[in-house]
Amino acid sequence: MKCPKCNHENVEGAKFCSNCATQLSQANSCSCGATNIPSTAKFCPVCGATLNAVNTPKNVAEATSKQLSHKTDKELLPLALEEYAEEYQSFKKKWMIGMIIGCVLYVIPGILAFFAYKNYFLPQYEQELLQRYKRNLKLQ
């Protein structure tokens, strides 16, 4: 199989040229029975079905990796900063949600417990304490 870019002869079944790493067109097949469909085709020329061979995550990752491997550090820095900014924004949103949930789960019940203590339990305790002193001192 000849490479379309450098005309290097590659072994049959090769996906990339062994000389220049260009993706070689592979014959795809469709569920309708059509064969010899170029790998760059997104749809079957016979039945019009969507072909997923081109846009699979593995092929996209390989293409992205090859594109990035030819860039210099100065060209990669803005991409890395952009990716970092996106991750930071995602982390910031998750952190804020966590803080809100934390307030709901811990602070609000704490406030409610304080008011229950102050308005219900403390007056009852004071009444019991007063009655105990009255009994001990034999006062009415």
Task: For residues 46-59, give the mean pLDDT.
Answer: 59
Which tops the pLDDT comparison, 19 or 140?
19
pLDDT score, position 53: 45
Domain ranges for the chain, please list them.
1-70, 83-136
> Exposed, middle or buried by CB within 10 Å (0-12, 13-18, 19+), for 12?
exposed
Confidence (pTM): 0.32
Given a cut of 50, whether residue 54 has pLDDT beyond it is: no
Task: For residues 44-66, give the mean pLDDT.
Answer: 59
CB contact at 8 A, 100 and 93: no
Question: Measured between alpha carbons, how far is 33 from 37 in angstroms, rounded to an integer?
Answer: 11
- How many contiguous H segments (helices) and E segments (strands) does the chain have? 4, 0
CB contact at 8 A, 29 and 44: no
Question: Measured between alpha carbons, how far is 77 from 54 in angstroms, rounded to an integer?
Answer: 29
82-120 pLDDT, tens digit per residue, is 888 889 999 999 999 999 998 888 888 888 888 888 888
pLDDT score, position 2: 78
Beta bridge partners of 114: none
